[in-house]
């Protein structure tokens, strides 16, 4: 594997690129497409995602596949808000309140609600999205029993 052509990136540039990669990924752009866009390998994209706080458990259910560190939490919640505002025409404030409300009502961490929104929002109507969140709540409650 050859090194990236051109000058090396500074730490600040690496952090900015990692955040951009994470936002694009959480917005639905696939890792191979990101690699082509940034002119690097898929492994480099995974490293940038890791730097942004996004890690992977493997090819499981897309709702629970992504693990997000504390550093990546704002990116994940921001991506979920973007999905809600873009797909369901909510304002950013309404989207944030909806995420908080869904988390409190269903006893799911807000990050869990955000993961569900990112995974399924493009395929569901808003009422169906609410049912998915309720189903996750039941699954988590059953798992802890």
Do residues 11 and 81 both lie within one domain? no
Do residues 86 and 132 both lie within one domain? yes
Do residues 29 and 95 both lie within one domain? no
pLDDT above 70 for 70: no
Nearest to 112 by CA among 143, 134, 128: 134
The answer to whether the predicted template modeling score (pTM) of the entire model surpasses 0.85 is no
Query: Could you tell me where the beta strands, DSSP code E, fall in 15-56?
Result: 54-56
Query: What confidence category does residue 62 fall into, taking pLDDT thresholds of 50, 70 and 90?
Result: very low
Non-local (6+) Cβ contacts of 12 within 8 A are none
Do residues 48 and 76 both lie within one domain? no
pLDDT above 50 for 11: yes
The predicted-structure confidence for 22-44, as pLDDT tens digits, reads as follows 888 877 788 888 888 888 888 88
Angle separating helix axes 73-88 and 110-120, nearest 10 degrees: 50
Do residues 82 and 137 both lie within one domain? yes
Side-chain half-sphere exposure of 72, counting CA atoms within 13 A: 24
Nearest to 139 by CA among 31, 61, 47, 53: 61
Q: In the chain, how many domains are there?
A: 2
Do residues 79 and 48 both lie within one domain? no
CATH number, domain at 13? 1.10.10
The domain in which residue 130 lies consists of 71-145
């Amino acid at each position: 594997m050859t090194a990236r052509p051109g000058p090396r990136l500074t730490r600040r540039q690496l952090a900015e690129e990692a955040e951009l990669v994470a936002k694009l990924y959480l917005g639905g752009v696939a890792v191979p497409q990101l690699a082509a866009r940034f002119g690097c390998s898929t492994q480099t994209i995974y490293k940038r995602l890791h730097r942004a706080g996004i890690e992977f458990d493997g090819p499981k259910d897309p709702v629970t596949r992504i693990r997000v560190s504390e550093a990546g939490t704002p990116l994940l919640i921001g991506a979920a808000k973007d999905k809600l505002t873009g797909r369901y025409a909510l304002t950013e404030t309404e989207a944030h309140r909806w995420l908080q409300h869904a988390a409190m009502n269903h006893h799911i961490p807000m990050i869990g609600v955000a993961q569900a929104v990112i995974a399924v929002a493009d395929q569901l109507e808003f009422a169906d999205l609410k049912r998915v969140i309720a189903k996750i709540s039941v699954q988590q409650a059953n798992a802890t029993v």
